[in-house]
Amino acid sequence: MPGGDAREAAKTVTGSLEALPYLPELPARGPGADMIGRTAGMLVELYAHVEPSGWRISDRPGRDTRRARSWLGEDLDALEEFTQGHQGALKVSAVGPWTLAASLELRGGEAALSDPGACRDLTASLAEGVRAHLAEVRRRVPGAEVVLQLDEPSLTSVLRGSVRTASGYRTHAAVDRGVVEGALRTLVEAADGPVVVHSCAPAVPFGLLRRAGVAGISFDLSLLTEGEEEAIGEAVEGGTALLIGAVPGTDTPLSDPAGSVEGVRTLWRRLGLAPATLAESVVVTPSCGLAGASPGYARAALAHCVRAARSLADNPE
């Protein structure tokens, strides 16, 4: 979400999304509120600090770790205030193990992705941190059915071997798909509840994510290609929820709600799926985060998602 006021963001989200409110992230506050820093602050027995090149793994917690944890605590306080008596789904987010490995630097400045041992340690630390974070959310909002979203915008690049080294002249080797799947499964097991993987990059690996045990997959509808449609159909028939980014994430004139999801209806028709399954299979979302939007547009986009979802449910064909 845009801005830096945790209470205002929590009030907007919980007021707009009764069915699936979420814990907002406010990266405009600076390092530690960004998605990498925020998740680095959740790690157990691993720490990170900010370098000019980005976040780097540290031996001990420093001011950057303390700041990240302080902001997360402030966000949780605000969420707790506006979810009193809430019953039902509540979504929280963390960066997934592979985007984290591609973004966090080792002491020498190269990405953790370059070291298989570092990747294993990072996954284990993240699993413990996520487990503790979810327990805290459940303690603060006892009626919540907590859904964990793992943000993995770098996942496709990790699988394809296209993540650049620190020099920029080479790329890191592609990681074996079985290793990628295994790390994601570790996080799914740690969550002890539904896990959604979000990627706003092209070529989302739907099959791999389903094998890892995720309950839902979040993607940008505008990046979907015809070659991925079969995997979408298999996901729907297998009971995987689709969080479809059909509403622009930055300030754009919004069409009528029904028009925003016409692409979803068209996809369903091409796949030969029963229109009645739309309401039970699809969550309408912004295409990616709303941090780059104006506060007014962010509020309008969330309300628009709700109206568009209602349009799908009421008029699936």
Structural domain harbouring 62: 6-214
- The sign of the CA dihedral 204, 20, 186, 66 is positive
What's the confidence (pLDDT) of residue 137?
98
Q: CA-CA distance, 95 to 155, in Å (whole number)?
A: 11
Per-residue DSSP letter, 114:
G
What's the confidence (pLDDT) of residue 316?
86
Which residues sit opposite 145 in a β-bridge? 89
The SS3 assignment for 162 reads: coil
Residue pair 229/270 in contact by the 8 Å Cβ criterion: yes
The reply to whether 310 falls in a domain is no
Q: Which of 208, 100, 211, 226 is nearest to 159 (CA)?
A: 208
What's the confidence (pLDDT) of residue 317?
82
Residue pair 111/165 in contact by the 8 Å Cβ criterion: yes
Residue pair 317/276 in contact by the 8 Å Cβ criterion: no
Pairing of strands 216-220, 195-199: parallel
DSSP string, 212-239: TT-SEEEEEGGG--GGGHHHHHHHHHTT
Q: CA-CA distance, 180 to 263, in Å (whole number)?
A: 31
How far does the chain reach from its first CA to its final CA, in angstroms? 32
Displacement of CA 121 from its chain's centroid (Å): 21
Give the Å distances, CA to CA, from 53 to 48, 50, 56, 101: 13, 8, 8, 15
Q: CA-CA distance, 220 to 176, in Å (whole number)?
A: 25
Reported pTM? 0.96
Displacement of CA 259 from its chain's centroid (Å): 25
Tracing tokens 């490995």 back to the chain, one arrives at 101
Please state the domain count of the chain. Answer: 1
The SS3 assignment for 127 reads: helix
The reply to whether 138 falls in a domain is yes
The reply to whether 136 falls in a domain is yes
Q: CA-CA distance, 183 to 98, in Å (whole number)?
A: 8
Could you list the beta-strand ranges (E) of the chain.
47-51, 54-58, 88-95, 144-151, 195-199, 216-220, 241-247, 282-286
Half-sphere exposure at residue 121, Cβ-oriented, CA atoms within 13 angstroms: 14
Kindly give the confidence (pLDDT) of every residue in the chain, 317 residues in length, as a single tens digit, with 9 standing for 90 and above: 999 999 999 999 999 999 999 999 999 999 999 999 999 999 999 999 999 999 999 989 999 999 999 999 999 999 999 999 999 999 999 999 999 999 999 999 999 999 999 999 999 999 999 999 999 999 999 999 999 999 999 999 999 999 999 988 999 999 999 999 999 999 999 999 999 999 999 999 999 999 999 999 999 999 999 889 999 999 999 999 999 999 999 999 998 999 999 999 999 999 999 998 998 999 999 999 999 999 999 999 999 999 999 999 998 88
The reply to whether 223 falls in a domain is no
pLDDT in tens, 230-282: 999 999 999 999 999 999 999 999 989 999 999 999 999 999 999 989 989 99
Q: How many Å is the Cα radius of gyration of the chain? A: 19
pLDDT in tens, 186-197: 999 999 999 999
What's the confidence (pLDDT) of residue 161?
97
Q: Which of 96, 117, 102 is nearest to 157 (CA)?
A: 102
The reply to whether 66 falls in a domain is yes
The reply to whether 245 falls in a domain is no
Q: CA-CA distance, 299 to 76, in Å (whole number)?
A: 20
Q: Which two tokens stand for residue 29?
A: 């506050």
